[in-house]
Amino acid sequence: MEKLTELNSDLTTYPIAETFHSIQGEGAWTGVSAFFIRLAGCNVGCPWCDQKESWTDKTFPKYSSEMLSTKAQQANASIVVITGGEPLMYNLFPLTDKLRKLGMKIHLETSGSYPFSGNFNWVTFSPKPFKAPHESIYVKASELKIIIADQKDFEWAEKQKSKTNSQSINFLQPEWNSRTSSSLIYKYICKHPEWRMSLQTHKFLGVR
Ligand code: SF4
């Protein structure tokens, strides 16, 4: 049985938009050395998405769990972040099993719009109003991160927080191109201390 799991794990491939070593720019792990694996493919359709080139999975090469694990190991970062695109469009058990066998700490960044899969040390749940989250994500979230583009997003944020497990850390993050969302969040958090602000520090630094 063990052999079969290993075989499946090695044969599973994923469309990969890019892999890179940087620091985690957002949320509770901001500033930590991180190796990013960006899976291609997303049909959530956020109008302000900064990864639109990763929406298709057709034009990107496929990598096996084995190849991705080797790249991650060579990077020697503190954490491996599986992001997208929308990573939960794929079965993430083979990849996370492989990374875990190498002793890596694995984080997920997801909109939660597909059934949960994989074995993670940390789950960043960033739901989007453009495609409803799957119910399986709410117990899994380690942090909830809501992108605020305008005032109406606070209502969405509260609705998502009410469904998410109580251990989750709650972040509001300004939409990068919005001129007003930072000050809206600032004022909101002063009145709602259960929320924290997350900033895209990598963009301020001019790195990925
Ligand atoms: S879920 Fe993420 S990758 Fe998909 S459209 Fe929204 S921001 Fe872009």
pLDDT mean over 105-114: 98
CA distances 202 to 27, 79, 176, 180, Å, are 12, 16, 11, 20
Q: Domain ranges in the chain?
A: 2-205
Return the pLDDT at 9.
56
Higher pLDDT, 205 or 1: 205
* Region 79-104 average pLDDT: 97
Amino acid 5: pLDDT: 40
Tens digits of per-residue pLDDT, 184-197? 999 999 999 999 99
Please give the mean pLDDT across all residues of the chain.
94
Q: How far apart are CA 82 and CA 50, in angstroms?
A: 16
- 50 assigned ligand-binding residue: yes
pLDDT per residue over 39-61, tens digit each? 999 999 999 999 999 999 889 99
Percent of the chain with pLDDT over 90: 92
Point out the ligand 1 atom lying closest to the alpha carbon of residue 131. 1
How far, in Å, from the CA of 87 to the mean position of ligand 1? 10
- Give residue 152 CA to ligand 1 midpoint distance, Å: 19
From the CA of 147, give the closest atom in ligand 1. 7
More confident residue, 101 or 8: 101
Q: What is the predicted pLDDT for the residue at 179?
A: 86
* Torsion sign, CA atoms 27, 29, 32, 34: negative
Distances in Å between the Cα of 168 and the Cα atoms of 74, 122, 145 are 31, 10, 10
How many percent of the chain have pLDDT more than 70? 95
Please state, in angstroms and rounded to a whole number, the distance separating the CA atoms of residues 182 and 198.
10
What CATH number belongs to 2-205?
3.20.20.70
